Amino acid sequence: MSPNRPHLSAEARAQALQAARNLRAQTTDITAPAPVTPSPGFASLAGYKERETIRQIISALGIRYPFFRQLEMRGGAHSRIEGKDVLNFSSYDYLGLNADPRPAAAAKAAIDRYGVSASGARLVSGERPVHRALEAALARHYDVEDALCFVSGHATNISVIATLLGKDDLVLHDAHIHNSSFVGATLSGASRRSFAHNDMDALEQLLIDTAGQHRATLVNVEGHYSMDGDVPDLARLVALKRKYGFWLMVDEAHGLGCIGPTGKGVRELYGIAGSEVDIWMGTLSKALGSTGGYIAGSSVLIDILKHEAPGHVYSVALAPALAAAAETALSILEAEPERVQRLQALGRLFVDCAKAQGLDVSTSAGASIIPVMIGDSILAIAASNMLLEAGINVLPVTFPGVPMNEARLRFFISSLHDEDEIRHAVTTTATVLRELRETRPDLRLDTFLGPQP
């Protein structure tokens, strides 16, 4: 017997052989083919099925699908679709800065110096001076300590809420909050409750009902709601914050440059100090004519997000050209408040003309976002198509994006529109809706789908 081979007793050898047999049996079980349950086809997914049903209905009615229209030039107050010049109400260029040569020149200079891309995440690949310059300007705009930019507005809300909140926390949000905030709250693992739109009494009751049950509570609202164009009662929100001690987050994606006498947003409208709100969120893609998102607040908040928010730590930085363009646009906004005043005057004119024509503009504040409530989704789609034929580009918001009876045409106003264009758009919309309601009573989605909850 080799001196390097240990002697095994008969009992030990039997145990070793049995262990080997067991291992072979387990291996056989692991590698044996399991019954296959194929994943369903993508066409079985609920969202696709809903869209396909509506597409089939409108096709049968001879109505063209209105979405993903191709604009053949800049989407400002005017654009071109299928070779035809149109009066455009479908773009976020609220202050006309997407066409201003100054942000464009800043973007081109940044490309020449830094390239098209930042080529990495800021934490490990380094920063560019244009990033910090933009963030310093945003912090000054909100009168807070610091700010941080993200490559996407939608990803900003998702990443920030999911970073700050966890399973022991609570998110209370307005029922009309943006999808990005809703998704962020869901992914955070926090408990989540909604309150009726702009109903501060309902919010306070939730605060009373949940007092002491969670580590932290975040109240999330928009400064200018993207569907209805109205604003929250920020003064009441701040008073509730002082009383109940929650974190207050205000999404100013559509508020920056549109709300308040000089476009500083809902805080300017109410005369509230920037530090009274814990988290200011916004996007660079609306009034500033760029792309990306940002958070403004305390230096502690920004330090946390810089080092922990996945949308910043694990994402390529905002392209230098976009940062440079946004900083220049912000400086123009602050130097030329007449752009804001003109936008707001046109928004009020639209609301006044719409009401005179018997159109329902919901609760719009009469600034950059004005819905014309239609009710039925198919009717809204048909109206959008007829308006395009008349040279007016405005898109419908339809079921299931909104409840079946709350479809609308959503008009985005630009400071580059003029008064005659506003009056023409309103009059033409009223005429189209009257004609459709009189001649096409078949344009009702519930006729095909039945009553919906």
- DSSP state letters, 392-405: EE-EEE-TTTS-GG
Neighbours of 65 (CB within 10 A): 13
- Residue 70 sits at the vertex; the CA angle it makes with 328 and 105, to the nearest 5 degrees, is 20
143: tokens are 């009168």
User: Measured between alpha carbons, how far is 411 from 408 in angstroms, rounded to an integer?
Assistant: 9
Q: Is the peptide bond before 400 cis (omega within 30 degrees of 0)?
A: yes
Query: Which phi and psi (to 5°) does residue 400 adopt?
Result: -95, 10
**3-state SS, residue 267:** helix
**3-state SS, residue 248:** strand
241: tokens are 């914050």
- DSSP state letters, 376-426: SHHHHHHHHHHHHHTTEE-EEE-TTTS-GGGEEEEEEP-TTS-HHHHHHHH
Distances (CA, A) of 226 to 137, 323, 330: 24, 24, 21
Does 254 participate in catalysis according to the annotation?
Answer: yes
User: Measured between alpha carbons, how far is 207 from 125 in angstroms, rounded to an integer?
Assistant: 43
| Contact by Cβ (8 Å): 276, 246 | no
Strands (E) in 5-132, as ranges, are 78-81, 84-88
Q: Which of 159, 181, 194, 226 is catalytic?
A: 226
Task: Write the burial class of residue 304 (CB in 10 Å: 0-12 exposed, 13-18 middle, 19+ buried).
Answer: middle
**Alpha-carbon dihedral of residues 288, 290, 291, 296, nearest 10 degrees?**
-40
Q: Which of 224, 254, 264, 417 is catalytic?
A: 254
Q: Which of 264, 286, 312, 417 is catalytic?
A: 286
Neighbours of 215 (CB within 10 A): 11
Place of tokens 């830094």: 114
**3-state SS, residue 99:** coil
Query: Which phi and psi (to 5°) does residue 196 adopt?
Result: -55, 145
Does 286 participate in catalysis according to the annotation?
Answer: yes
Phi-psi region of 189 (alpha: psi -120 to 50; beta: other; left: phi over 0): left
Neighbours of 1 (CB within 10 A): 6
Active site residues: 226, 254, 286
